[in-house]
Amino acid sequence: MRVALFSLLLAFASAATIEQRAAPVNQLVGYATQNGGTTGGAGGPTTTVTSLAALRAAVLSGTAKIVQISGIISGDGETIDIGNHTTVVGIGANSGITGSGFRVKKGTNVILRNLQLSKSPAPTDLIELQTSTNIWVDFTSDLTHDKDFYDGMLARIDHGTDFVTVSWNVFQQHFKCSLVGGSDNTGDEDSGHLRVTYHHNHFLNINSRTPSLRFGTAHIYSNFFDTVTDSGVDSRDGAQTLIEANQFTNVENPIETTLNGGFAVQRNNVFTNSTLGTVATGTISSVPYSYTIDAAATVSGIVVASAGAGKVTGL
């Protein structure tokens, strides 16, 4: 009887969770759906790797391929370059890399999913995107380390990179988190590019850059900003941001537009112990793709329960 009752309660709890979350998982949404879409290695062969040498070799070619990582691979502090038309995916809840980071440089059509990432020593970032298009970073988690160890978890989305979606990730315990546009002097290269969507991410115990955006366009919706000590979303150098249905809890300067003339449209956000200052109103009020918002009041529960490595199904 107790087993039956427990099963019934579990079923009700699961149904309530599903009902609460309106946005789909396991589905690409955002700017990475544009420009022909992002399919990664779909249709190519699947390889499973367990060593750094095998990983480097498996991801490098420019033909369609799916590379599965089994377990945590120890890196050597150097960047792992990923070729075009590649999906890199972790198996289960505890697969990924420590001690190195991934880079897509002058590439296209890459997916990174379900990965534990940690301890990539500066100047190597955990994920770096340069002069690339159609990238999807989904259901990754990073692990804690000293604030000066990395430059950032998802840093240096720059040099004209475009059509990127960052979704259902956990970014935690970082001094600097995510930088879009690497310099105040790259406007000629970056203007008209750097279109990035951030949705359903958990920014936990971060100092700043959640993200910091120069020149580009960002759509930031249904994220949970949870204890950010310096600044949250930083729009600068003419960047345009649409910030909606996010939950900001214990965030200093949740939306910042005062540095070098950035802009934001903010709507339907919830601020808890987070004081919103003056925001320079931008011009972006819509995006060229369909998406489903989870209301800001529900975002913390949804994101904590569903974001990060090991939470996605069907891999």
Catalytic residues: 209
142: CB partners within 8 A, 6+ apart: 116, 117, 118, 126, 153, 170, 171, 172, 174
CA distance 95 to 21: 26
- How deeply is 85 buried, as exposed, middle or buried, from its count of CB atoms within 10 A (0-12, 13-18, 19+)? buried
| DSSP, res 11 | H
CA distance 12 to 179: 41
3-state helix, strand, coil in the chain (%, to 5): 15, 40, 50
* Chain position carrying tokens 């995510």: 178
Question: Does residue 274 contact residue 296 with C-beta atoms inside 8 Å?
Answer: no
Identify the sign of the CA torsion 289, 290, 292, 293.
positive
The β-bridge partners of 66 are 46, 87
Helices 2-20 and 296-306: crossing angle in degrees, nearest 10, is: 130
- Phi and psi dihedrals of 2, rounded to 5? -65, -40
Closest CA to 226 of 313, 308, 146, 127: 308
| DSSP, res 281 | B
- How deeply is 145 buried, as exposed, middle or buried, from its count of CB atoms within 10 A (0-12, 13-18, 19+)? middle
